[in-house]
Amino acid sequence: MDKALDLVEAVSRAPRPPRLTDLAGEVGLHRATAYRILVDLVRRGWVLRTGDRYLPGTAVLRLSVRAAHNSLTSLARPVLEDLSARTGLMVNLQVLENDGSRVVDVVRPDHLAMISTLLGEALPAHRFAGPLALVAALAPEARGPYLDAARKAGHPLDGDTGLLADIERTRAAGFAVEHGRNEQFVASLSRAVVPAPGAPVCAVTVVGPDAEIDAPRMLGLRADLASAADVLGGLLSGTSGAGDA
C-alpha cells in the first residue's frame, strides 16, 4: 500500500506527466514492480495512462472535489474574505474536474447581489476565467479533456480567439481574464494556485461588473489576486501560517 500511495503522489506532483522509468526511480522500485502496481492503479482509476506517460486518474479528481468542500474551503475562506474586502468584488474558489472546474466557495459583497455566484456549478474553460487559469497551469499533455469540451461545444481551438491562444496568453501572463463571454457586463480575473511543482490545486477568481475590472484597475487587481494566491499556496504547502491571511 505504501508503494502504491508513493506512486500516486509521485504522479500527482510531477511537473510533467512522468514515464514508468521516472516513477520507478523516484519511489525506489524496480521497473517491473512499479509497472505491476501502476496497472492496478490504472484499473482502479487512481492513475490514467496516456501513451507511455501517467496522469492523475479520475478517482483522484473525485477525492479532490470532496476534499475541496471540507479542508480546502475551510483553509481558503479567510483568504477569499480578505481579497473581497480589499477589492470590493466577488471572489470564488474553483477546483478542476474532468472537463472543467467547479465553484466550491464564494464570497459576494451585498452590492453585487445581482451577479450569480455559480456556487456548485461546473464551468468550461472556453467561457470562464477560473477553469482557463487552471487548464493553463496544467502540462500540455493533460489539457486534452478541456480542449475536447470546447470542441464539442463548437468553440474554436485555433486562431487568435481560439481556446489554445487563450491558454497561451494565460500561461504567459499568469492570469486569466474574461470579459462578458458568459454574462454581459460581467468580467473576471483568475489565478491558479500551484503550491508545489505539479498540477494546480485550485484557482482564486475575482468577479464583478465589467467597468470595475478594466485597464486602469487591472494592475492593482492582479497584485491583490497574486498576493492572495501566494498566501493560499503557502497555507496549502505548510510554508505559511494561517495568520498570514
Q: What is the mean pLDDT of each run of 10 residues along the chain (245 residues)?
A: 90 83 94 95 86 79 60 88 98 92 96 95 96 95 94 95 96 95 91 84 96 94 97 80 43
* 160-198 CB burial, b ≥16 within 10 A, e <16: eebbeebbeebbeeebbbbeebbbeebbbbbbbbbbeeb
Q: Classify strands 90-96 and 53-56 as parallel, antiparallel or unpaired.
A: unpaired
State the Cα–Cα distance between residues 123 and 99, nearest whole angstrom.
9
**Which amino acid would we find at residue 181?**
R
pTM, entire model: 0.73
The H or E element containing residue 128 is: none
Q: What is the pLDDT of residue 245?
A: 42
Q: What is the pLDDT of residue 85?
A: 98
